[in-house]
Chain A
Amino acid sequence: MKTIAVLRPSRKLNRSFTVSFLLFALLAVFGAFMALPLIYAVNNAFKPLDELFIFPPRFFVSNPTFDNFFDLVALMGNSWVPLSRYIANTVMITVLGTAGHILFASAAAYPLAKYRFPGSKILFSIVVLSLMFSGQVTAIPNYMVMSWLGWINTPASIIVPSLAFPLGLFLMKQFIEQIPDALLEAAKIDGANEYRIYWGIVMPNVKPAWLTLMILQFPALWGTDGGNFIYSENLKTLHYALGQIVLGGIARAGVGAAVALILMVVPITLFIISQSSVIQTMATSGMKE
């Protein structure tokens, strides 16, 4: 917080009041555009059924109720695959995918950031170039790789590729570069090998970087619906289940709103908790080529 205060731009410069006012008005208008659908989603989740279908539709809830959440539990309790199953699948994919990504990306980033050795430069440029690929470009060959590996219809088909997204390595490398060399050399003199240095020195020092990676990776995996790789109901994710409930139409509208809220709340909470560290990392990582 202290550094932020120091870095704030000087207010002594000429700032015309009219322009400031217009800029903040612009911010407020677009802020409302960004926030209203989300506020609406929150309100919807607490609306009793008669309020959901009132005409003309109302934005805010007037008689909040938890019925939608109870209905959701009851509905999924009756279904062939219980709700807890979808939640467990999603949590497993998200936690393993995020934790593994942080671990693998930082292990690869440490040598790339701190040492030069044959291949280090070319490997890093391939990773940077691949930031430009969109996932869909590789969807088909990926499917083939998966089927050769026999991973179709297993959670591994979602978790394992997510461990090696290029953005993670890129951010981690920029951040590890800022750990002073003296610290690593001191550890070496004390007899630590490379693995000890990675685990004992580098990792604790890049904690804000993990949080950033977490906030980038977590929502991506949390929102996955299993894509083209998973067909079995038992392995599908919460996001997929939600899609099915929404397709259920009017009868399920209240329950759908409840699931929407559950899906939304988790990544947003995570971001609120880690916000200050995240922004710090994005700043210090420099993003230089």
Chain B
Amino acid sequence: MQAETTSGAVSNLMLANKESRLALAWKTLKRNKHYYILMSPYMILFFLFTVIPVVFSLLLSFFYFNMLEFPRFIGWQNYSRLFLNDDVFMIAVKNTFLFAVITGPISYLACFIFAWIINELSPKVRAFMTLVFYAPSISGNVYFIWLIIFSGDSYGYLNGFLLKTGFILEPIQWLTNAEYILPIIIIVQLWLSLGTSFLAFIAGLQTIDKSLIEAGAVDGIRNRWQELWFITLPSMRPQLLFGAVMQITASFAVADVSIALAGFPSVNYAGHTIVTHLMDYGTIRFEMGYASAIATVLFFIMIGANMLTQKLLRKVGE
């Protein structure tokens, strides 16, 4: 009902002359003022701490700004320096894409596959398994446990185990050897990555209409793979899209785990990502304009990856 009156007001608005248009707009605003008041605390903070910073960051990427002097406009210079003159950034881009391409799809698939298997269990076992898989991502950044496991001396668990079983004769410096850093961060990141989207998938699976599955059985669906492709996946498309957004954002923004495990900066920049590069310029060198250019590039990479994934997901079950 509310919607009808509003759209009626809008079409009247088109016909009326400018003055009554303003008056009408004012009237609409006044009629809805309670809604604006209810939204205002959230929206003010949301704009202040999310929208304005994003817009500001986009603008700042065209300036030279060191936090002390007034920003100086330099056009595309930050970007040309970033892409043509910054070898470390190229390492960071390479690492970030490696992370995203490996951890993104694997963790997304893992979220779905494990949710799907768990869904077949009895309610009590299901609750327990959900906890087992979800616990790492909510247990308050306990990934430093992995520091002890990959510790470089013989007291490290992995070294201790490998020494005892005779695979190696001397402890391996897992986290200071450029060769091992990236795979270790990927493993820990995967361990942490069954979070919000995993919960959403578990929930989504439980809402699938049972009559759909029965109708499918009548229509000749024979095994669980057909059921998965023709019924389960299409019914879960909203959750799948939501999960993709969460997973992509997480896999392109790897930084905390890398810093906690490999240090900052890591040996030979082996664990360097776009976000650690951004932190380097933003919080250590105070080259804000340059850091903003890095942030902008990351933002567009994420949007691109999201659009691509959403396109792919629309094809699921067709």
Contact = CB atoms under 8 A, between A and B. Distances in A.
Contact of A279 (B32, B135, B206, B242): B206
Contacts of B148: 44
Interface string B173-207: 00000000000000000010010100110111011
Contact of A127 (B46, B119, B253, B255): B46
A274 B245 CA distance: 25
Contacts of A141: 52-54, 56-57, 60, 292
A287 B196 CA distance: 12
A160 B138 contact: no
A236 to B, nearest CB: 15
Interface in A228-259: 228, 239, 243, 246
A138 B123 CA distance: 41
A30 B239 CA distance: 23
A140 to B, nearest CB: 5
A20 B3 CA distance: 50
B199 A279 contact: yes
A254 to B, nearest CB: 12
A: interface residue count bin: 35 or more
B35 A117 contact: yes
B231 to A, nearest CB: 9
Contacts of B138: 215, 219, 267-268, 271
Interface in A265-289: 266-268, 271-272, 275-276, 278-284, 286-289
A118 B136 contact: no
Interface in B205-231: 206-208, 210, 213-214, 217, 221-224, 227
A88 interface: no
Nearest to A53: B155
Contacts of B296: 137
A13 B28 contact: no
Contacts of A24: 117
B249 A282 contact: no
A107 B296 CA distance: 31
A281 B203 contact: yes
Nearest to B295: A137
Contacts of B210: 6-10
A260 interface: yes
Given A34-B191, A137-B57, A104 B155 contact: no
B42 A163 contact: yes
A140 B291 contact: yes
- B54, B140, B145 interface centre (most CB from chain A within 10 Å): B140
B190 to A, nearest CB: 9
B302 A134 contact: yes
A200 interface: no
Contacts of B133: 30-31, 34
B223 A112 contact: no
Contact of B222 (A14, A35, A288): A14
A37 to B, nearest CB: 5
Contacts of B157: 40, 57, 59
Interface string A130-143: 11111111111111
A216 interface: yes
B52 A145 contact: yes
Interface stretch (B14-22, B73-81, B83-91, B275-283): B275-283
A212 to B, nearest CB: 8
Interface stretch (A64-72, A73-81, A191-199): A191-199
Contacts of A13: 213, 217, 221-224, 227
A267 B46 CA distance: 26
Given A20-B120, A111-B32, 10 more contacts: A9-B119, A126-B51, A130-B50, A132-B302, A134-B302, A138-B54, A140-B292, A142-B49, A193-B34, A268-B139
Which 3 pairs show the lowest CB-CB distances between chains A and B?
A: A282-B203, A141-B53, A108-B42
Interface of B: 2-3, 6-7, 25, 28-29, 32, 34-36, 38-39, 41-43, 45-46, 48-54, 56-57, 60, 110, 113-114, 117-120, 123, 127, 129-142, 144-149, 154-157, 160-161, 163-164, 191, 194, 196, 199-200, 202-204, 206-208, 210, 213-214, 217, 221-224, 227, 238-239, 241-242, 245-246, 248-249, 252-253, 255, 275, 278-279, 282-283, 288, 291-292, 295-296, 298-299, 302-303, 306
18 contacts: A14-B222, A23-B117, A30-B114, A33-B191, A38-B139, A38-B142, A57-B160, A115-B2, A117-B35, A131-B246, A133-B54, A133-B249, A134-B253, A145-B52, A164-B45, A272-B131, A282-B199, A284-B207
